[in-house]
Each structure stands twice: as C-alpha cells, then as structure tokens.
Chain A
C-alpha cells in the first residue's frame, strides 16, 4: 500500500464557485474545531451552492460530522469553533448571533431518529407553537404540508394523535425531516440520516431529499458512497480533520484529483 502520510498535507483540490453563476448559500473560511486542546478540524474551507445537495464523505473519525455540526453551532458547549461561517453575509460563528434564531434558518436531522415523546402532530407543531403560532388552522396546514413533503402524509394522516415513538425507524426519521422543514429553514443539514435504516427506508429518504432539493439547500454527511453518488451534486472528501477534495460528485467518483480520494472511493481504506 502507498505511503499516504505526506500526501495528506500536500495534495488538496478544493473547488471554488464563481459567484456570478452560482448562488452560495453557506460557506466556511478557515474553520478550526478544538476539543479541549486537541484539534478536530483544521481548515475546512467549503462553499455550498443553493438548492443543491452537497455530500460530505470520508472515513470514520475524519471530522465530517464535526464539521457539519459546527455549521449550525450544535458544537457550542462541546467544542471550540474558530473561523468564519458565512450565511447571507453574516458570520454566524460570532457571539453576536442569536443562535436559536439562526438554527431556524439552518435546520438539522440526526443519525438516530429522535422524535419527541409526543404525538406525531405535536412533534411538528410544538416548535411552531413555541414561537407564537397558535392558530389551529395554520398549524394543521403546516403539519400536513410538512408530512407530505417528507412523503409520509398518506401513512399517518389518520394517526396524527398517536405517539411518534410507535412509528417504525424509517417513519420516525421521515417525521424528523418533516419536523425540521416545518419551520421552513433555508438549509438542511443531515448527519448520516439513513445509516440506522433498512435499504427500503433509505431509498425512500433519498427520494425525499431529491424532492426537497427544489426548495432547500441540503448538506449531508454519509458513510455510504453509493448514496453520495446517487443523490449529491457536489462531494467533499474529508480525511484526518481536513477537506482534501471538493468537486462535482461525478468528478470525485470518476476522476479524483487527489490520490487519497481515489484510494478511499475505490475502497482501499476507510
């Protein structure tokens, strides 16, 4: 096997968008994440185009989840994040940002489905009600629309008052997606959303994401390279806390510029 150690520092290929042709929804500049004194991520510089799906791939421990969780500051109180995260001209990694408001624009779905111990209806309506939306008619409408967008309305429309915990894993995860899009974020972050699901549920989730792409910017961490190649427009390859390659998904999988990317996608390590 080839000796990769010096490649990790020297070889990188990060695509930058031309702002004239591509609308940037989110970008990071010089992002560093520290767990105590240990550095988890160094220099994650990426741009994410609006209404596209960008996939983050890489071996376990490569920092892709850490990077994703930094984007809507889910790492606050867990790690120290330095650098800029630019969203609509604002650095959302600054202290002046209202984190709670920001997360309404940048929503997240997690690896393990985590519905609340509430009814299906309440899972979606709850956060809206907390922000002052109390009209039953409005709530009903949003619940229905979100569940339709997550492709599960027909399965649960008669059971809206049943506990969400009684749903199957795949349905729970789609409920989590519905819950996240109900508050109408701009950007949806997904942290290996299908890794705990069976193949049928996985492909349903993928269909849902392709559907959602029309209205949302999606950034997804995945372990599954087939999944990345099936649904994403752009792919970033992470290794040892660094982004080594970021390009159009087709290029990454057919013609990677960095040797390590090639090794990873051809299954030589990871």
Chain B
C-alpha cells in the first residue's frame, strides 16, 4: 500500500469514529427528549410529587436543585477563587505547591458516591446537620472545589504576564494588580468555568442521596423566612433534588405513572444541563467581546 492510500483509510476510520460518538450522543439525547418532552407541562413543573397516585409533578425537586446549586456555588466559588488566585499568582513553584496541585487532582477524581458517603459521615452524622440542604451543599462543595479551582487557575494562567508587569510598572501592588487587572481580564473564562461546573452540580445524584436526603417535604411558598423549616429557603430541611428523584422513582417508585414522571424529569434535567452549557458559551463569548471591543 502506498502512503496516499493509507492516509485515505486512516481518514475514513477517524471519520467513522467521530460519527459513532456523535450518533451515540444524538441517540441518547433524542431518546430522552422524545420520551420525556411530551410529559412536561406547567402543572408537571410546578406541582409537588405524589407517592401513590398518578399526576404528580417535580416542582419541589426542581426548586431544591436550583437552591442547592445556588448554596453550593455560594460556598465553593469564594474558596475556589481564593485557591486559584493563590496557586497562580502567589504560590512559589516548590514541592509544597506541587503537593497542593496533586491533592486537588486526586480530589477531583474522587467518585461522587464516595464524596456522598464522606458527606454523610462528616456533615450529617458528625456535625449533626442531618439530611439537609446544608449537608448537601457542603458535599457538593467538596465535589466542586477541585474542578472549579482548576478552571479558575487556568483562566488566570492564560492572562499574559505583560498585563501584570503593566500593573507593577504603574506602581500598583500585587494585590491591586491581581484583583483589578488580572481577575477582570480572566472573567470571561472564569464565568464559563463556573457555569459549566454548575451544570455538573445540577445533575449530581450520588453525592446527594445520603446528604441532602431522599425526601421532599411539602414547602410553603408563602413563607420566605429561612428559619422556618417549611420555608423554601430553610437550609436545614431535607431536600430531594431532581437527579435524586429520578434515581428514587426508578429504584422504588410505586406511583402508577412512575415511568412517565421519570421520563419527564430526565428530559427537564437534560434540558437544564444543556442550557447551562449554552449559557456558559454565550456568556463567555459576550464578555470577551465586551472586553476586547465595543
């Protein structure tokens, strides 16, 4: 065989592999959406789940997922930002920094069910937080921290050193240069990273089963005092999320329309995660444009 022929064959094989990957993705998405989208209605999205009868919705689970996401980001974003800034801007390149980086890498490859069990022992049992949104938010923080730290560190590393020198040459301190020049310039990619990690948290189930719990008690949407246990904002109430709900009804759901609810909930979950991804791209591009030219 000559080189030209081999090249043609290799190209063909690569095309076939790429097509295979795309087909799997499209088939999966298509199946979930075709099965689930017909189940989605306003009633389905807003009413509470029913355990024994048909016609239940996912309203509370949906709210729980967003609230948990919000709390988890509220805790993990400042920590990751601090860690990312330290690692990229302040840390000397030595063994200790290397050790920190390795630790973060190991942490990011922990299976989420292990994070969940750790959260159960540590937050739920040891700190007596019980099955609660707070326990769930902490578990998600453990799950999210390494990835977010990594993406923020990378975003900062991509900012050219020229920018830092420009700040120093104007008599700005390192802190001023980092906070007022480097971080703003890295903002588009930082935000992209945050939104992408939000998508991952939103779809997470295993880390939450034993931390945020598997029950979704009725919420009083007229009571916004976070200290009342029936308030939607209460961080101490158990809160089944959408992903956990899907797992639950598929393993032990006894409502007659379990299949339909599961399909609908899966479709909503997938759509939400896709929206997060598109939002990340759109926001990142928009901010970048805003910064480079108006």
Contact = CB atoms under 8 A, between A and B. Distances in A.
Nearest to B292: A165
Majority secondary structure of chain A interface residues (helix, strand, loop or mixed): mixed
A166 B292 contact: yes
B160 interface: yes
Interface in A86-118: 100-104, 107-110, 112, 114-118
Contacts of A117: 163, 184-185, 291-292
Majority secondary structure of chain B interface residues (helix, strand, loop or mixed): helix
Given A74-B165, A112-B162, A163 B292 contact: yes
B163 A114 contact: yes
A257 B171 CA distance: 39
Interface string B166-184: 1111111100100011001
Interface string B92-109: 000000000000000000
Interface stretch (A38-46, A176-184, A242-250): A176-184
A127 interface: yes
Contacts of B160: 114
Contacts of B184: 117-118
Interface residues of A, number: 31
A54 interface: no
Contact of A183 (B171, B181, B185): B171
A16 interface: no
Interface in B18-42: none
A165 B166 contact: no
Contacts of B3: none
Contacts of B170: 103-104, 107, 127, 179-180, 183
Contact of B171 (A100, A116, A163, A166): A100
Interface string B267-294: 0000000000000000000000001111
Contacts of A5: none
Given A114-B160, A116-B185, A117-B185, A72 B172 contact: no
A119 to B, nearest CB: 8
Nearest to B176: A130
B166 to A, nearest CB: 4
B162 A180 contact: no
Interface in A114-133: 114-119, 126-127, 130-131
A161 interface: yes
Contacts of B162: 110, 112, 114
A117 B163 CA distance: 9
The 8 A-B pairs with the shortest beta carbon distances in the complex, nearest first, are A114-B162, A104-B171, A108-B169, A127-B170, A166-B293, A103-B171, A117-B185, A114-B166
30 contacts: A72-B169, A74-B168, A100-B172, A100-B173, A101-B171, A102-B171, A103-B168, A103-B169, A103-B171, A108-B169, A110-B166, A110-B169, A114-B166, A115-B166, A116-B166, A116-B181, A117-B184, A117-B185, A117-B291, A117-B292, A118-B184, A127-B170, A127-B172, A130-B172, A130-B180, A162-B293, A165-B291, A166-B293, A166-B294, A176-B166
Interface of B: 160, 162-163, 165-173, 176, 180-181, 184-185, 291-294
Interface of A: 72, 74, 100-104, 107-110, 112, 114-119, 126-127, 130-131, 161-163, 165-166, 176, 179-180, 183
Given A130-B176, A162-B294, 14 more contacts: A72-B169, A100-B171, A102-B171, A103-B168, A108-B169, A110-B165, A112-B162, A114-B163, A114-B165, A116-B185, A118-B184, A130-B172, A179-B166, A183-B170
